[in-house]
């Protein structure tokens, strides 16, 4: 093995990871040394196609805070016009993020300027392979497929017409056929042996819908993997009513194993809530304990090496709808928004970021617009992980008196719809009846806006329970 292996792809400069044999963006064979500037060009061999240069990646939420966040007791009220649910204490309103220039698109139809909304109707894998988005870095040059033996030739296996190429197992490797060239064999490292394209991972795009909640997660257009995770569920309570749960986690990219951290946190918090709520635990107390359990699950991923740094880390935001109560819990900069069904009523942001920008605003050192425009804005000051400061989850409970929808999301979405008004503008008006479609629209809005980060969103409808006289 060469000791001078390039740290970036010689073709498109995409950063490489240890053990990569091919570039995940352009498919370049990085095991071949780059040609010397003075070496003669071999005109008899085809040259490797050159992919467009990938844009330089911006700072992705550095996790080193300026100082430890102050100790903070659990919040129980939020002055957004909701009736505070017991055992809440009186509290004032927290200012929401300021409005930012509206992202392209109209309500329910983001990306209207030239492109349809993405993922409203997910295309099959074969269609995506043959008709990629022209500006999507996932699509790269695909070499011509090798000639296939005649269907009736001896030893060729199944006869012609036995099934599409994507359903035919290739000899050796993983038994899968490349979704890009539809002919090459996929090796055990996840790359096509013919064209070099990385195959879609299971987490690149995920969707899930229950009757009362739906969530969508997408890798985005710039990251090489999806480091977000979510869990949605519903469970019956002792009184016969139903509790709906949505958990969304965002892995910290600058830490190790961020994808594992977010998956462990989301699964653990969800399982804890599904166990605690049917036993009669108050939703706010259950959410608090669920976040602590999620933190322990992430801590367990840290290497057992004294002095090890960059432990796995993630943010978390969750929502529970049960018995006429809306309970929110979070750590980090993932957010929850309230959007009333009656769009004449004001939407609200229900969380406050654990971030550098939020600290600057809270200290009165900057205005919101100035703070969130700063390059340090997304440096988080709270997270789940072994190297986090003393953890004290934020939890709040509301009792809305009108129906609406809760949008639970990572910053991959709210970067393109930061204020509550912008989020309400993008969210379809029928979100309560079609939560999955609404989640797809929101993810499509982020992708059409640039998709610079992983994007995950859960849409949770809230219905006001009927009164005793109803």
| Residue-wise pLDDT tens digits, 288-321 | 999 999 999 999 999 887 666 789 999 999 999 9
pLDDT of 42: 45
pLDDT of 144: 53
User: Which residues does 16 contact at the CB level (< 8 Å), separation at least 6?
Assistant: 6, 7, 8, 9, 23, 30
User: Does 259 score more than 70 pLDDT?
Assistant: yes
What span, in angstroms and rounded, lies between the C-alpha atoms of 436 and 187? 34
pLDDT of 134: 38
User: Does 11 score more than 60 pLDDT?
Assistant: yes
More confident residue, 327 or 149: 327
CA dihedral 276, 282, 283, 289 (to 10 degrees): -60
pLDDT of 417: 97
Residue percentage of the chain with pLDDT more than 70? 64
pLDDT of 268: 98
User: Does 206 score more than 60 pLDDT?
Assistant: yes
pLDDT of 305: 76
Read off the pLDDT band of 153 (50, 70, 90).
Answer: very low
pLDDT of 310: 87
pLDDT of 368: 86
Classify residue 445 as exposed, middle or buried by CB count within 10 Å of its CB (0-12, 13-18, 19+). buried
CB neighbours (10 Å) of residue 179? 18
pLDDT of 125: 37
pLDDT of 152: 41
pLDDT of 34: 59
More confident residue, 183 or 147: 183
DSSP letter, residue 432: T
Read off the pLDDT band of 183 (50, 70, 90).
Answer: confident
Residue range 264-290: mean pLDDT, rounded: 98
pLDDT of 85: 56
Read off the pLDDT band of 330 (50, 70, 90).
Answer: very high
Of residues 336, 447, 373, the one with CA closest to residue 98: 373
Mean pLDDT (the chain) is 76
pLDDT of 468: 61
- The predicted-structure confidence for 363-414, as pLDDT tens digits, reads as follows 999 998 899 889 998 899 999 999 998 898 999 999 999 999 999 999 999 9
What span, in angstroms and rounded, lies between the C-alpha atoms of 431 and 309? 43
Evaluate if pTM is beyond 0.85: no
- Beta carbons of 270 and 297 less than 8 angstroms apart: no
Residue range 112-133: mean pLDDT, rounded: 37
Residue range 209-216: mean pLDDT, rounded: 94
């Amino acid at each position: 093995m060469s000791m001078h292996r390039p740290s970036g792809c010689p073709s498109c400069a995409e950063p490489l990871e240890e053990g990569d044999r091919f570039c995940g963006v352009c498919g370049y064979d990085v095991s071949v040394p780059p040609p010397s500037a003075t070496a003669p060009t071999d005109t008899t061999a085809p040259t490797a196609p050159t992919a467009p240069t990938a844009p330089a990646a911006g700072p992705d939420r550095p996790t080193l805070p300026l100082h430890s966040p102050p100790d903070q007791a659990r919040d129980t009220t939020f002055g957004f016009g909701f009736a505070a649910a017991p055992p809440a204490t009186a509290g004032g309103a927290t200012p929401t993020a300021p409005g930012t220039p509206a992202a392209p698109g109209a309500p329910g139809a983001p990306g209207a300027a030239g492109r349809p909304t993405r993922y409203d109707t997910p295309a099959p894998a074969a269609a995506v392979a043959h008709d990629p988005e022209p500006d999507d870095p996932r699509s790269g040059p695909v070499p011509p497929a090798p000639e296939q033996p005649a269907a009736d030739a001896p030893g060729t296996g199944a006869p012609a017409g036995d099934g599409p190429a994507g359903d035919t197992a290739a000899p050796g490797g993983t038994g899968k056929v490349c979704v890009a060239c539809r002919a090459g064999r996929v090796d055990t490292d996840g790359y096509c042996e013919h064209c070099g394209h990385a195959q879609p991972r299971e987490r690149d795009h995920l969707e899930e819908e229950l009757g009362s909640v739906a969530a969508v997660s997408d890798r985005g257009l710039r990251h090489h993997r999806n480091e977000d995770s979510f869990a949605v569920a519903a469970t019956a309570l002792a009184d016969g009513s139903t509790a709906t749960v949505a958990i969304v986690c965002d892995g910290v990219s600058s830490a190790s194993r961020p994808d594992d951290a977010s998956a462990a946190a989301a699964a653990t918090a969800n399982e804890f809530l599904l166990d605690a709520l049917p036993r009669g635990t108050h939703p706010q107390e259950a959410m608090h304990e669920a976040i602590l359990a999620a933190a322990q699950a992430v801590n367990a991923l840290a290497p057992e090496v004294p002095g090890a740094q960059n432990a796995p880390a993630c943010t978390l935001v969750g929502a529970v709808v049960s018995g006429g109560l809306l309970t929110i819990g979070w750590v980090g900069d993932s957010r929850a928004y309230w959007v009333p069904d009656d769009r004449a009523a004001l939407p609200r942001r229900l969380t406050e970021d654990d971030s550098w920008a939020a600290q600057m605003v809270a200290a009165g050192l900057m205005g919101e617009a100035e703070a969130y425009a700063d390059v340090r804005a997304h440096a988080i000051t709270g997270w789940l992980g072994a190297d986090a400061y003393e953890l004290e989850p934020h939890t709040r409970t509301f009792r809305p008196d009108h129906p609406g929808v809760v949008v639970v999301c990572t910053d991959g979405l709210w970067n393109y719809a930061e204020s509550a008004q912008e989020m309400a503008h993008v969210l379809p008006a029928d979100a309560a009846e079609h939560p999955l479609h609404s989640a797809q629209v929101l993810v499509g809005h982020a992708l059409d806006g640039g998709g610079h980060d992983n994007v995950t969103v859960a849409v949770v409808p809230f219905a006001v329970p009927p009164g005793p006289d109803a």
